[in-house]
Amino acid sequence: MRPLDAVGWSKPLLVLLALLPLALLVLAALHNALGPDPVSQLEKHTGIWALRLLLLTLAITPLRRFTGWNWLIRYRRMLGLFTFFYASVHLTVYLVIDLGGFWSQIFVEIAKKPYITVGFAAWLLLIPLAATSTRGMMRRLGRRWGQLHKLVYAIGVLAILHFVWQVKFGQTIAVREPVVYAAILAALLLARWRPRRRAAAISVRPAPARSPAPAPPP
């Protein structure tokens, strides 16, 4: 089966591609090309890549439904794991490089700063998803695997909150960026409901004379 082979072959490429943003960031940091406050740049970019990968992961299912490209599902676990990877790098940069030497402050930050609270919660919720991403765990959990992995929707919302909440007062331009990501997330979540509605729409549409019955919903 050719598509299977192609997917299997392309996975290592996807790994390299997914690691590229981090590699570029590290290079930029080593060349002191991240501006006056390099730590904040590392935090920003690792966080944004975690969010982008999360949205890509969430895009697989609607894309499959609309295009019929079922082989896309085989990339989903890797994208999800890279989401966890970038989120973990993001947290590590914050803990080790940014807060460096002031470890105990993390508890104050988590407790007192809402955007840190939701960001940390999003990372915590990613852990069980990453831990149950293996085939064995999928088999063992059965139906409950799907229920557990619905957590990803909550994670998406928390990640967006984490982003929006730290835009400083009055930054009318800077707020556009998280709003764009929020819109993409909303679209991806909405797309999950559409097939049923479309199916309903199709069934009420008057059938052409020649076809005996409307096609069953996909």
Partner 1 sequence: MPTRRPPDLPERDVTPEAIFQDRRRLVRLLALSPLALAACSPKGEAGAPTPAAPPPAPGTALSFTPNPAFHTQGPLTSWQDVTHYNNYYEFGTSKSDPALNSGAFKPRPWSVTVGGECEAPGIFALEDLIKGIPLEQRIYRHRCVEAWSMVIPWVGFPLAALLKRFKPTSRAKYVAFTTVDRPGQMPGLSYPVLDWPYREGLRIDEAMHPLALLAVGVYGRELPNQNGAPLRLVVPWKYGFKSTKAIVQIAFSETQPVTSWNQAAPDRYGFYANVNPDVGTVPWSQHTERRIAGSGFSLFGNRIATRLFNGYADQVAGLYAGMDLRRDY
Which spans of this chain sit near partner 1 (rule: CB under 8 A)? Answer: 27, 29-32, 35-40, 42, 97-102, 105, 108-109, 112-115, 165-166, 168-174
Residue 105 CB, shortest distance to partner 1, in Å, is 6
- Identify the sign of the CA torsion 146, 50, 72, 217: positive
Judged by beta carbon, residue 77 or residue 177, the one nearer partner 1 is 177
Residue of 78, 34, 58 whose CA lies nearest to 187: 58
Residue 64: count of CB within 10 angstroms of its CB: 15
Residue 23 CB, shortest distance to partner 1, in Å, is 11
Query: In angstroms, rounded to a whole number, what is the distance separating the alpha carbons of residues 115 and 166?
Result: 6
Query: In angstroms, rounded to a whole number, what is the distance separating the alpha carbons of residues 12 and 7?
Result: 10
Residue 185 CB, shortest distance to partner 1, in Å, is 21
Judged by beta carbon, residue 115 or residue 153, the one nearer partner 1 is 115
Residue 162 CB, shortest distance to partner 1, in Å, is 11
Contact 118, 91 (CB under 8 A): no
Residue 36 CB, shortest distance to partner 1, in Å, is 4
**9 vs 18, 21, 134, 135, 155, CA distance in Å?**
15, 21, 20, 19, 30
- Identify the sign of the CA torsion 84, 86, 92, 95: negative
Judged by beta carbon, residue 71 or residue 109, the one nearer partner 1 is 109
Judged by beta carbon, residue 69 or residue 102, the one nearer partner 1 is 102
Residue 97 CB, shortest distance to partner 1, in Å, is 6
Judged by beta carbon, residue 143 or residue 168, the one nearer partner 1 is 168
Judged by beta carbon, residue 42 or residue 55, the one nearer partner 1 is 42
- Report which residue type is found at 21: P
Query: In angstroms, rounded to a whole number, what is the distance separating the alpha carbons of residues 23 and 16?
Result: 10
